[in-house]
Amino acid sequence: MLALDPATHRSHALHASDRRWPQTNCWTDLWIEIVAALGHDPHAMLGFTVMQDHEGDQATFFKVPTEDMERLFGLRLLELSIFDRLETHVVTQCGRGRVVVVEVDGHFLPDTLGVSYRTTHPKTTIGVATIDPVARRIVYFHNDGVFALDGEDYDGIFGRVDVPADPARLPPYAEFLKIPEHPPVRDLRAEAVALLARHLARRPAENPFAAWAADFPAHAADLATRPPEWFHTYAFNLPRQYGANFELLGSHLRWLEGQGETGLEPAASAADEIAETAKVFQFKLARAMARGKFDGLDAMIGQMAAAWDRVMAVLDAKYRDEAPRRRVATPPDGAPRPALAVSAG
């Protein structure tokens, strides 16, 4: 971590600009970069993406399970109790060779210039790699890169020393990453296959895109009442999460092929089809909101549903005996679904 330099850091290939979805969400992007900076291959931890579901008003906000990172790389993420100044805790933990993962106000993150820096106050997660309390400077992971902040931004994150803390203010949620001195020796292919099979057994019982298609008429009716900028909110929580998730799954399956697994290319190609269709869907949704007409979008969701079936058919045929299947009953046709409440997260 001490060798990290924001000026020379290069993002991992999973964040390459030629990908359909160079950024996914703040949690998964963060861990791709941290794991890569520690010398591990983040491709190995992406089997969890088979579990993504449709949650009624949004796609599952997919997050790398911390137990997967421990199993693969020996990395342990533990909650950090905040009973003193946040800055004091970060100094202690970084001094012990750890990364502090903390929820902060994006208003003070210079890497979000043009998005939220000094304009809005979104909650986001960073990983503090190093801290210099004298210079009032940190080097931190955020999204798909490594950055630095200091001065007033440092005070915005940690609070000014000369200003008493507000006892009514809820402390931020924070964790710290314990990094083993000697990384465990693992057969990453075998471990990744075992995790993929485990997550496959926990995948949605119902095709998530078929569920989205069933809900989309209500979504479209709601979108027609929203201002144009609401497009960004809906797009982030549905097509972007679906597209980015399945692009990562395609990358994971091709990585497994490179490690010696066979027969996964058809599933990887179908996952790529979902990622591409979700991207086109997002562009067409922007135009649909401008016109107030949403014709044809449901058919695109149907294309993604068919591709999801192909992904799962390949994976089931290859890995269904690797872990016990655990399925829940599919709701009967015509069962009522929750009322629409689009997340603004």
The pLDDT of residue 99: 98
Strand partners for 100: 128, 176
- 157-171: pLDDT as tens digits: 999 888 887 777 788
Q: Contact at 8 Å (CB) between 38 and 75?
A: yes
* pLDDT band per the 50, 70, 90 thresholds, residue 335: very low
- 20-66: pLDDT as tens digits: 999 999 999 999 999 999 999 999 999 999 999 999 999 999 999 99
Is residue 212 over pLDDT 90?
Answer: yes
Q: Contact at 8 Å (CB) between 213 and 302?
A: yes
Q: Contact at 8 Å (CB) between 157 and 174?
A: no
- 70-98: pLDDT as tens digits: 999 999 999 999 999 999 999 999 999 99
Q: Contact at 8 Å (CB) between 27 and 34?
A: no
Residue type, 170: L
Residue type, 122: P
Between CA 201 and CA 207 the distance in angstroms is: 14
Is residue 226 over pLDDT 60?
Answer: yes
- 313-331: pLDDT as tens digits: 999 999 987 654 434 333 4
Between CA 73 and CA 40 the distance in angstroms is: 7
The pLDDT of residue 40: 96
* pLDDT band per the 50, 70, 90 thresholds, residue 333: very low
Is residue 1 over pLDDT 80?
Answer: no
pTM of the predicted protein model: 0.89
Neighbours of 27 (CB within 10 A): 15
CA-based nearest residue to 72, from 266, 255, 272: 255
Between CA 139 and CA 159 the distance in angstroms is: 17
Between CA 102 and CA 126 the distance in angstroms is: 6
* Cβ-proximal residues to 86 (8 Å cutoff; 6+ apart), any chain: 102, 157, 158, 159, 171, 172, 174
**Average confidence (pLDDT) over 122-128:** 95
CA-based nearest residue to 42, from 239, 192, 204: 192
Indicate the average pLDDT of the chain.
92
The pLDDT of residue 162: 81
Between CA 210 and CA 224 the distance in angstroms is: 22
Q: Contact at 8 Å (CB) between 242 and 54?
A: no
* Cβ-proximal residues to 274 (8 Å cutoff; 6+ apart), any chain: 209, 242, 243, 246, 304, 307, 308, 311
pLDDT > 70 fraction of the chain, expressed in percent and rounded: 93
The pLDDT of residue 323: 54
Is residue 147 over pLDDT 60?
Answer: yes
pLDDT > 90 fraction of the chain, expressed in percent and rounded: 85
Is residue 332 over pLDDT 60?
Answer: no
Between CA 141 and CA 82 the distance in angstroms is: 20
Q: How many Cα atoms sit within 13 Å of 322 on the Cβ side?
A: 19
The pLDDT of residue 345: 36
Neighbours of 46 (CB within 10 A): 28
